[in-house]
Each structure stands twice: as C-alpha cells, then as structure tokens.
Amino acid sequence: MTLPLELTRSRLGRAPQLLAVDGWLLGAAFAALALLFIALFGERLAPHESIYFVVEHGSDPRPYDPGVVFPFGSDILGRDLLSLVLAGARTTLAIVLIGGLSRVAAGTLVAAVGSWWRPLRLLTESIAELVSAVPATLAALVIVKIFVKADTTIWLFVGALLVIGWAGPYRVVRAEVDRLMNAPFIVGSRSLGIGRWRLFWRHQLPHLLPVLAVNLAQQVVASLVLVAELGVLGTFVGTTRLINIEESLSRVISGPVNAAQIADPPEWGGLLAAARTIESLWTFRWLILVPGLAFAATAIAISLVGFALARRYARRDVIEDLSSRGALAFCALAIVLVIASAFMPPRYAEAAQWAIGAAADVRPSLDTPTAFRDAGLAPIGPSYAIKRDLSGVVQTGPATVTIGATSLKERWPRDTTRRTFSSDLRSLVTAGTGGGAVEADVVYAARGIVPSENPPPVSRSLLGLANPSLGTLIEDYADDYAGIDVRGKIVLLVRFYGFRHDTYDRNGQILARRTVLGTTADDAVGAAVKRGAAGVIYVDPDLPFYTDVITNPPYGPINPYTRAEREAPRTTAGGVPAVIISGAVASGLAAQSGLDLSAYMGWDDFGQSDRNRSASRDIGVRARLDVPIERQELRTTSYLAEVDDVSHEATHVLLWVVRSPGSGHEALDAMVAAARSLAPRRAPFVFAEFDPSLDPRTNAAAVTSALGARRVGLVIIVRDLAGSALRFATPWGDLIPALDRYAEAAGVRAIATRDTAPRTFVDDTAPFADTKTIFISGNDDGGTADLRADASAFICYLAGRLALGAEELPR
C-alpha cells in the first residue's frame, strides 16, 4: 500500500540525523556544479579564444595533431579544439538543459490535465502516439530548416526539442499518475474536497519526483544526443560563417582544407558539423573525438545527477530536503558561481574603455592637417601633405548622345558612392577611345563578331570535358563587318555576352551550367575604332546594375568601364568618342529605325545555328556624340601622420580613409576621433586620408613610399559610413570571426560578417596588396544613423587588444 510521505513521517517519526554522507548525492552535486562552472567560465578560462587561428606551423599540415601546436589538436582551420569545446559549452549546455526541462514540464502538465477529463485524455494519447511515431532527428531537422531564415537560434532549437520530445515524459508521468489516483491517501484527499491542482502539486508530485528525476536526466541526455546528430547533419546553433584562409598562407599547397563553414559561438554540434568528412573518421579522428568526449562526459554527469536524485527521493520528501544544510550549501555555491561569472571581467576589458573614450570624442573635422595636429599626431616628412603634380586628360562635363529627335545626357558629376550605377548613359574615356564631338551617319554592326579574328585552337580536348573555345563556337557565325563600311561613321554595337548552356533535371532545376564568355567592351569598341569608326555607341543591358562600391556581398557586378578607365587612362586629347547606353534606352532608339535588338541582348546557346547571317546594316539616321575632355595640370593631395615616439621597428597599423566625392567627412571624423584616443597611449598607428582621384594606384604608391622603414602589419580601410550599421569585409578569412567579436565587445552597431570577401576587394585604392586588410563601411541600407562613433570605437577597441597582446592580431 502506498502512503503519503508526510503520513509516513508522522507514524514513524523523524529519522535521526546520520553522520554518513550520501556518496551518490555528493557526486551528483559535484557533477552539477562542475557543469555549471564550465558553462559559466569555460570560454573565459580556455587557453585561447575561438577567434585565434594558427594557419601555418612550419611544414606541419592542418589540422594539427594533438601535441604539435595544441594539446588536443586543432580543427581544420587551425583553431585549438579544447578552447573551442570550452567556448561552446555554455550554448550547448543551455540548449540541452532547457530542452530537457521543457520536455519534462510539458509532458507532466499534459499528463496532469489529461487525467481530469476523459475526452482530453483521448486527444493527448492520440497526439502522443503520433509524435512518438515520427523519427526525432528527421522531425527536428525539418522543423529547424522550415523556420530558419538566417541563423539558428537557441530558442528555435529548444522549440524543436520540445515539439518532438514531450511525448516520452508524458507517457511516464501518465502511468505514475494513473497508479497514484487509486492510492488511499489520494482517494481520501479527493473525498475531503481538495482541488485538482493542490492534489497534484502537494500530494502526487512528491511521489513523482524519483520518476521525474530519472526522466529529466534521460531527456537532457536525449537532447544532447539529438544536438550531436543534427550537428553531423550540418545543423547547429549560431551564426554560420564561410572562412577561407588562403590569403593568410605564405604558400598554398594541395592537401589541407583552406575553406570551411564554422559556427559562432562554437557550439559542440557545430564542431561535429565541421568534422563530417571521411578523413575525419580515418585520419583526423581527434576532430570528432574531442567534442565527442565532451558530449559523453556531459551525458554521464547528467545521468549521475538523475540517478542520485531518484535514489535519494524514492522514500524521502523533496520539500523537506529543500531546507536541509546540504541543499542550502549547494544553492549557495551555485549562486556564488553565477555572481562571480557576472563580475568576472572579459578578456582585454581595458580595450573596451579605449573604445568608449573614442566614441565619446567624435566631432567634425573639416581641415585634415589641423585635425591631425590637434590630435597630437606627428607628420611623416616635412608636412602632413603628400602631393602629386601631374598632367592628364579629364572629362570636363557630361557626355551627350543625339539620335534623330532623341537626346540623352549623362548624369554629371558621377556619384561613385551609389549602390548601383542606376543610369542609362556613361562615357568611356580610355587609351583606346577618347573624346570630342562628332556628327555622322549611324551604322549598325550587330555584336561586332568576326570569326576570322578568333580562330579555333589548333588542338582540341580529346576527352571532351573542357568547354569549347570561343573561336570554335563562333566558327560558323557571319562576319558582322563584312557587308558594311564603318569609316567616318558612328557604329552601334550590342554587347556579345558569349555562350551559356544549362542542363536540367526532370523537375526543371538546373543541374549544370557551362559558360564561355564573349568579347569584352574594350575589344569590341577597339575593333570598331581600328576599322575607322568616328564614334561608338555600345549597348550594355547590364549598365544600370553595375556598382562602383565594393561590398561583401556585392550590390552588383563591379563596373568594368570604371576599371577600364583606371587601368588604361587617356593621356592625350582627341581620339574617338565612345558612350555606353543601357538596353532599355537602346531598344527605344533602335525601334525608330526598325531595328529589333532583343534577339542579341542575352546569351547564345552552344551549337546555335541561326547566326550564319548578320543583321549589320546602315540604318539611315544621323547621330551626334559629344564627350568633352581636355588635358589639365592637376594635383592630388593625401595626408599622412603617425603617433609620435613609436619605434619604426614596431609593427604598425595603417588606418586608411578613402576620400570619396559626393560623401561627407564621416570617415575622417571617425579616424580623427580614434587618433585623439590613441596618440596619448603611444599606439603604433599611422593615419592617412587618401586622395584616389585620377590615378589611385600611383597615388597610393606615393603615400606608402613616404612610410619609409615603418613596418605595417595590418591595414584598416574606412570607406563611406552611410547606413544604419557598420559592415566589415576582408579577404583574410582568419580575421573574420574577430571582427564581429570586436564589434560586440565595443558595443557598436554592425551586421554579421558571414563570408570571406574576394581578393578583388583589395583594389587600386588599397595601399598594399599583400598585407592583411580590413574594410569598414556603412551597410548603405538607406538608414541615416551616425556611424562615426561606432567606427572610432571599433578601431580603438582593436588598438586596445593589440596593445594588450591579443594573439589573433598580426605582429
């Protein structure tokens, strides 16, 4: 016969206090406190931060064997596995503990309510049967993938664990509640009119505690196993970043993996996700073994807690034990750990004070030399100014095109800070074109294809695996210049994209894509000029979508015409005027002359057989092109300064602000605010306001040559700060996790950096091609936030970590 615990105590009397200690309960308390300690202090006490990469270590291949660089080995990108496990403990333990508690709480509540009303009991039974029949891993994977739009959060994971796991505790508690419902003390309590909730919480729940303790441990362990399984399937909590460390290597060799997805924070499931390769099973077993041991140790500790509680309270009242000295001591230790973790300073806490000071000292800086002097910076050389006097050809006004009664005018001056070009007309002034005004008849040269100038290669692939050459694909095409005379005329050309062939599956999805690029605008325009054209109108349907703003991810394709003008600038006045117009405008102009350009505004397919006749012809209209250019004597002025009393042999950080026409002085203000904070601290920083006009590559070389023997280990390039948050980018992937960590620690507004920027980010406005470089800009989302304080705080936090010896920064 089952008796209530309080009745048992009243009959038998209070048990005498024993000197013997419950070893199981003591071990469970130690295990629980150990897990709490690791969750609260693991990241802080780890040997290294998760943002620290050792990308090279002599000739040792990555991942490094245990004992070579780190005691427990490294992951595939060169991070310490032990530090990653400790850093990810808080997130992982929070997921499984909250998930297990929610499962047991939900199952207990549903079982209690279902025992009161039979129709509800039948409904909960049916739903529990359905939930139990679905494979837990598959169901959790589907739930997470359906609701994930960006990053997987802890609460989404907990929700998935709850939805698929409440049925198990429900069945266990339901069986115990059914058994207790017929116990005499329950029947007596009901006859006395005790309410359902009081009956459950005061009389039934104490008897359920042993079962709940064991089941809670089982559910936490089951949640732990499910987190591991989802990790193996590539689903984990946190921000997912694609890290490519090739740019940080002194040499790239075949073998080691140089790019991988990582989770931030390094939750244990994410560590398993990064190790799910055949090589990890056979060659690099520690990639799975180290996080696997963490899973196993945690499961054993949680099972010990559950077993000890079930054993302890099989014949004891938990409510009475809550006031015991042992329980009070345990709670006191837990509270002390929580309070200590709250007051324990983070790594490099002093760097945060550097950031706060810089953010509070932002003010307008209209005159750069004065701002540098007031900040306490010293000039490099006789003055702050780095001047270049040169002569060059510049465009002095907007290009205009008139065809028949229709006129177009270029937007001038060009705004290179816009997300996309967003215009239907631009000039093209390069060494192969030019400027001036010309009025002449218009001749349509289609796409300017001349097969004889692109002959097929002599040897061809015998295996048939490589794409055919452009010459092979246009071998049977008509010569677009064969039937027309372009001398002294304005040539209308349509961009030749090239060839693209897609292979589809039965559902219409693209399986594979093969692409062969056509001729470039430089080549097409140059061919027309070579044949005697007086002017060129080149149609590019993608013109409005190009961008001059380099971002990651990009707003659109990088403007090829801006690049062409930089790489081959015009050095003399005159030449042949050339303009680029968009497809939409070109279609409207061509329609006036009966031309249909739509068939040529796209990709050709491999083996296309309808191009053996050219659409080239005189169209019987006159046009006028005007691209005003002139040769001028010009001067570019950049400004350069440094923190005084710093050894030239020290590794410097170069803070490089790019002056941008059309934008304000926000980037300069942020740099000067950082300078005011760093100059008194003697931080090894060099500050440059860079003038990219005319010839940015040569301008950058002039500024960097003034640095002399100073060694630069890191470059921070600050561009336009328009938007609601900062955006970071770098081709050096090992810096990416640090950028977001710095932003969070400095309290600045920034969007997550999810992947490695392409090498093309280091353009002509960058001072060094092979030095680690970080790009800071606004996210340009239309927001009007003042990001000057955020940028200066980020820079000074980085400087503070550098001064305090942060190992992830170059030295």
Give the pLDDT of residue 415: 74
What are the pLDDT digits (tens) for 349-405? 999 999 999 999 999 987 899 999 999 999 998 999 999 988 888 899 999 999 988
Higher pLDDT, 101 or 181: 101
Residues paired with residue 579 on neighbouring β-strands, in sequence order? 427, 537
What are the pLDDT digits (tens) for 312-344? 877 666 666 777 788 888 899 999 999 999 999
Specify the 3-state DSSP secondary structure of 120.
helix
Give the pLDDT of residue 154: 86
One-letter identity of residue 741: R
Identity of the highest mean pLDDT range in 139-143, 451-455, 637-641: 637-641
pLDDT exceeds cutoff 50 at 14: no
Higher pLDDT, 381 or 675: 675
What are the pLDDT digits (tens) for 546-571? 987 776 667 778 889 988 988 888 98
Closest CA to 778 of 699, 731, 721, 709: 721
Give me the mean pLDDT over the 530-557 stretch: 87
Residue 387 DSSP one-character state: E
What are the pLDDT digits (tens) for 101-137? 999 999 888 887 777 777 777 888 888 888 888 888 8
Q: Which of the residue ranges 23-27, 180-184, 331-335, 448-452 would you say has the lowest mean pLDDT?
A: 180-184
Give the pLDDT of residue 722: 87
pLDDT exceeds cutoff 60 at 591: yes
Please, are residues 91 and 267 in contact by the beta-carbon 8 Å criterion? yes
pLDDT exceeds cutoff 80 at 422: no
Q: Using CA atoms, how far apart are residues 604 and 480, in angstroms rounded to an integer?
A: 16
pLDDT > 90: what percent of the chain?
A: 50
The two structure tokens encoding residue 465: 């695996």
Q: What sections of 440-484 are H helices per DSSP? A: 470-473
In three-state form (DSSP H/G/I as H, E/B as E, the rest C), the secondary structure along 505-556 is CCCCCEEEEEEEECCCHHHHHHHHHHCCCCEEEEECCCHHHCECCCCCCCCC
Q: Give 343's contacts (C-beta < 8 A, 6+ positions apart).
A: none
What are the pLDDT digits (tens) for 250-278? 887 777 788 888 988 899 999 998 887 76
Angle between helices 521-530 and 560-567 (to 10 degrees): 60
Q: Which CATH class is domain 351-388+635-803?
A: alpha beta
Average pLDDT, the chain: 87
Give the pLDDT of residue 150: 66
Q: Which of the residue ranges 280-284, 297-301, 598-602, 684-688 would you say has the lowest mean pLDDT?
A: 280-284
Closest CA to 641 of 548, 710, 693, 585: 710
Question: What's the fold here for domain 5-343?
Answer: MetI-like fold (1.10.3720)
Closest CA to 56 of 255, 258, 249: 249
Closest CA to 535 of 495, 573, 578, 572: 578
Give the pLDDT of residue 210: 77
The two structure tokens encoding residue 707: 């640095």
CA atoms within 13 A on the CB side of 621: 18
Please, are residues 474 and 454 in contact by the beta-carbon 8 Å criterion? yes
Tokens 């709250």: give the residue: 342
pLDDT > 70: what percent of the chain?
A: 90
Q: Please state which of the four CATH numbers 2.40.160.40, 3.40.1080.10, 3.40.50.920, 3.50.30.30 is assigned to the domain occupying 397-627.
A: 3.50.30.30
**Residues of CATH 1.10.3720.10 domain(s) within the chain?**
5-343
Give the pLDDT of residue 779: 87
Confidence (pTM) = 0.81
What are the pLDDT digits (tens) for 457-513? 765 544 445 678 898 899 989 999 998 999 999 999 999 999 998 887 777 777 788
pLDDT exceeds cutoff 80 at 698: yes
Q: Using CA atoms, how far apart are residues 475 and 607, in angstroms rounded to an integer?
A: 10
Report the run of H or E that residue 564 belongs to, with start and end: helix 560-567
What are the pLDDT digits (tens) for 709-733? 899 999 999 988 989 999 999 999 9
Angle between helices 81-114 and 205-232 (to 10 degrees): 140
Q: Using CA atoms, how far apart are residues 382 and 379, in angstroms rounded to an integer?
A: 7
Give the pLDDT of residue 586: 92
Give me the mean pLDDT over the 279-289 stretch: 82
Identity of the highest mean pLDDT range in 190-204, 529-543, 629-643, 656-670: 529-543
Q: Which of the residue ranges 380-394, 405-419, 664-678 would you say has the lowest mean pLDDT?
A: 405-419
Residue 705 DSSP one-character state: H
Give the pLDDT of residue 713: 94
Closest CA to 580 of 532, 520, 660, 620: 520
Q: Using CA atoms, how far apart are residues 767 and 714, in angstroms rounded to an integer?
A: 11
What b-and-e string marks burial along 536-569, b requiring 16 or more CB atoms within 10 Å of the CB?
bbbbbbbbbbbbbbbbbebbbebbbbbbbbbeee
pLDDT exceeds cutoff 70 at 196: no
**Residues of CATH 3.40.630.10 domain(s) within the chain?**
351-388+635-803
pLDDT exceeds cutoff 60 at 7: no
Specify the 3-state DSSP secondary structure of 490.
strand
Residues paired with residue 690 on neighbouring β-strands, in sequence order? 658
C-alpha distances in angstroms, 501 versus 517, 601, 640? 12, 16, 52
The two structure tokens encoding residue 530: 């070579």
Q: Using CA atoms, how far apart are residues 395 and 223, in angstroms rounded to an integer?
A: 67
The two structure tokens encoding residue 335: 């509270």
Q: Using CA atoms, how far apart are residues 750 and 729, in angstroms rounded to an integer?
A: 12
User: Counting Cβ atoms within 10 Å, is residue 646 exposed (0-12), middle (13-18) or buried (19+)?
Assistant: middle
Q: Which of the residue ranges 32-41, 190-199, 448-457, 473-482 would you say has the lowest mean pLDDT?
A: 190-199
Q: How many CB atoms lie within 10 A of CB 462?
A: 6
Tokens 């061809």: give the residue: 460
The two structure tokens encoding residue 652: 């410097």
**Residues of CATH 3.50.30.30 domain(s) within the chain?**
397-627
Give the pLDDT of residue 124: 81
Q: How many CB atoms lie within 10 A of CB 213?
A: 23
Give me the mean pLDDT over the 663-687 stretch: 92
Give me the mean pLDDT over the 589-603 stretch: 87
Q: Give 380's contacts (C-beta < 8 A, 6+ positions apart).
A: 640, 641, 642, 686, 706, 707, 708
Please, are residues 727 and 736 in contact by the beta-carbon 8 Å criterion? no
